[in-house]
Amino acid sequence: MPEPIGFIGLGHMGLPMAQRLQSAGFPLRVYNRSPEKAKPLVEKGATLVKSPPEVATAGGIVITMLADDKALEGVATDELAKALGPGGVHASMSTVSPATNAKLAEQFARHGAAVVAAPVFGRPEAAGTGKLWICTSGPQSPKQRVKPVLDVLGQGVFDFGENVGSANVVKLAGNFMLTAAVETMAEASVLAEKNGIPREALLKMLTQTLFNCQVYNGYSARIIAADFDKVGFALPLALKDMTLARQTATDTYAPMPYLSILCDRYVSAIAKGRSKSDAAALALGAADDAGLKW
DSSP string, 271-284: HTT-TTSBGGGGGH
Is 83 in contact with 56 (CB distance < 8 Å)? yes
The answer to whether residues 278 and 233 touch, using CB atoms and an 8 Å cutoff, is: yes
d(CA 180, CA 245): 13
Q: 283 and 178 in contact (C-beta within 8 Å)?
A: no
The verdict on whether 147 is a catalytic residue reads: no
C-alpha distances out from residue 134 to 34, 63, 67, Å: 26, 13, 17
CA gap 188, 104 in Å, rounded: 42
What SS3 class is residue 115?
A: strand
Contact 280, 217 (CB under 8 A): no
Judged by DSSP in three states, 79 sits in helix
Cα torsion for 67, 68, 70, 74, to the nearest 10°?
Answer: 50
* Crossing angle between the packed helical segments 235-251 and 98-109, to the nearest 10 degrees: 80
Asked whether the beta carbons of 239 and 263 are under 8 A apart, the reply is yes
Q: How far apart are CA 259 and CA 243, in angstroms?
A: 9
Q: Which of 171, 204, 240, 276 is catalytic?
A: 171
Which amino acids are annotated catalytic? 171
